[in-house]
Structure 1
Amino acid sequence: MEQEFYLGLAQRVRAIAERADPFTRRRLLDLAKRYDAKGSPTARSGAAERPLPVPRTTPPISTFTGPGEA
């Protein structure tokens, strides 16, 4: 479903680019290429996803929380 969304956006952006001036057309076509890349089945292989952050380690809880008797 997400693929169809991005491919639809690429198609709409190309339609707008047909009526635009050369500078804007070039930028819109570049945008359409990016949408095509996001919508392609190979783009969903996980390469675009960020890795999970490394879990934080906390120091071990001391069994002695305050001054105690020896």
Structure 2
Amino acid sequence: MEDFYRGFAQRARDLAEKADPFTRRRLLDLAQRYDLKSRPGSGGDPLPRATPAALFFRVRQA
């Protein structure tokens, strides 16, 4: 499984080389997440979301 994520990380980096600055940053962030997942015992995806999901939903008071 580690090789799978490592391969995805490299593919994202390869695509980032030819991308515009915004897309490059997103692809490099994605590659970093895949690198973290490729390490045994890393705990998966410890990076926080850019926007908390709670901001997208209104909470109704009962």
TM over 0.5: yes
The normalised TM-score by structure 1 is 0.59
User: Unpaired runs of 5+ in structure 2?
Assistant: 45-62
CA root-mean-square deviation:
1.1
SS at match of 2:19: coil
Aligned sequence identity (%): 61
Aligned length: 44
User: Unpaired runs of 5+ in structure 1?
Assistant: 49-70
The normalised TM-score by structure 2 is 0.66
Q: Runs (4+) of structure 1 moved beyond 3 Å? A: none
Matched, 1:17 2:19: no
Q: Deviations over 1:18-40 (max 9, x none)?
A: 00000000000000000000001
